[in-house]
Homo-oligomer: A and B are copies of this chain.
């Protein structure tokens, strides 16, 4: 497989589109947790019942299309190699939880990979929709339409007072998790994230690094999502998230401007050195790669670097995860070998833009 094919394989087609505020918000996601009436929820169900859910969804939705989401395809966990599952997790198309369910787990994925429905994860169905940029309202509207389309085929577990019923009480009500993936390099450089995160948490939202462990956010990529799913309408939940994200966007823009004014040449130096390392290193750890990719992306957003497309950050953050690297290498790699393959892949990728 050529590198170009591999990248096309790695990058979901929707990712190459651009949405609102895409200098800071990389993508918006809506996820709806749904369960079928009259079947015990996955957490308390037996294999046969869940298999029936799976077969039914397969029969009803495989090869179906809804709006732009053509040709839903069913991928059974039992049929995947470990590295293939890992790749789907790294593309955020399935959860690590689902990957472990070899008995009854599956995912229906649209051709453009923008819509996916996990089957027999924690709930019978988890409908997911991604949009590039800051497009929460559109994403919600479309997700609810998609939800209605699914509901034409199944009867959801629904309670008039509580709303949609789910395995975990934290999802009861709307079953909605709305989130955005944000790139916040300037707020990180100016050490503002440590005060912003608790502020956002106080508002009932959750901020976490998308890559990395603990408080460390690799690539300065953060996910902000709602925590509450009950007691508010879907539109209100999304609107509350939207208004906070708007504020974070404004703060990040202000911080970028401040840094440029304060230390334009140092910032430029940082951006180009990171580019130089990405384009030349022969061994690179994921942490350093993420830092350099974040700098590079900031340089693109600030107009310092023109010949490289914006989505190099999301693209290479995905491509250089362990699963993808091993998929590309076609073999199991030690961490040290991964560092070599990671640097090769980044170099070759940047050369394509030469």
Contacts and interface: CB of A to CB of B under 8 A. Distances in A.
Interface of A: 265-266, 268-269, 272-273, 275-277, 279-283, 340, 343
Contacts of A273: 276-277, 280-281
B281 A272 contact: yes
Contacts of A266: 283
25 contacts: A265-B282, A265-B283, A265-B340, A266-B283, A268-B282, A269-B281, A269-B282, A269-B283, A269-B343, A272-B280, A272-B281, A272-B282, A273-B276, A273-B277, A273-B280, A273-B281, A275-B276, A275-B280, A276-B276, A276-B277, A276-B279, A276-B280, A276-B281, A277-B277, A279-B280
Interface class of chain A by DSSP:
helix
A36 to B, nearest CB: 53
A269 B277 CA distance: 9
A207 B283 CA distance: 35
A265 B339 CA distance: 11
Contacts of A282: 265, 268-269, 272
Contacts of A281: 269, 272-273, 276
A280 B275 CA distance: 7
Contacts of A272: 280-282
Contacts of A265: 282-283, 340
A277 B280 CA distance: 9
Contacts of A276: 273, 275-277, 279-281
Nearest to A284: B269
A325 to B, nearest CB: 16
A284 B239 CA distance: 47
A295 to B, nearest CB: 11
A280 B265 CA distance: 12
Contacts of A269: 281-283, 343
